[in-house]
């Protein structure tokens, strides 16, 4: 089932290649959307695709990012928008 998740990752997530690694993982799972740094030091992502792939991507980003230390994650689910054709890093 297709879904969309708005996700905020907190912890040591900026300056550690988090966004690039998130993008690579998302593309590998067939997800579309975007990821960006936030002014408060967190990283925000919108992930759209199959719900199980989104859940796996969130878990991978939470536990397996090579240099990041994620302290907690906020997730809100919504209906997919089909607004995206790829996964991009936003500035």
Q: Which of 17, 73, 74, 85 is nearest to 48 (CA)?
A: 85
Residues forming the active site: 19, 37
The pLDDT tens digits for 30-59 are 999 999 999 999 999 999 999 999 999 999
CATH of 2-81, one of 3.30.70.100, 1.10.3720.10, 2.40.30.110, 3.30.2000.20: 3.30.70.100
Distance (Å) of CA 53 to CA 37, 68, 91:
22, 21, 24
Q: Is the pTM of this model over 0.85?
A: yes
The residue extents of the domains of the chain are 2-81
Average pLDDT across the chain, whole number:
97
Residue 91 has pLDDT above 90, yes or no: no
């Amino acid at each position: 089932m297709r879904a969309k998740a708005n996700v905020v990752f907190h912890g040591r997530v900026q300056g550690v290649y988090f966004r690039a690694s998130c993008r690579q993982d998302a593309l590998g799972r067939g997800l579309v959307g975007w990821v960006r740094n936030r002014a408060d030091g967190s990283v925000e992502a919108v992930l759209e695709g199959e719900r199980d792939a989104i859940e796996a991507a969130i878990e991978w980003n939470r536990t397996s990012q090579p240099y990041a230390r994620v302290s907690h994650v906020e997730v809100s689910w919504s209906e997919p928008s089909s607004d995206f054709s790829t996964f991009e890093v936003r500035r």
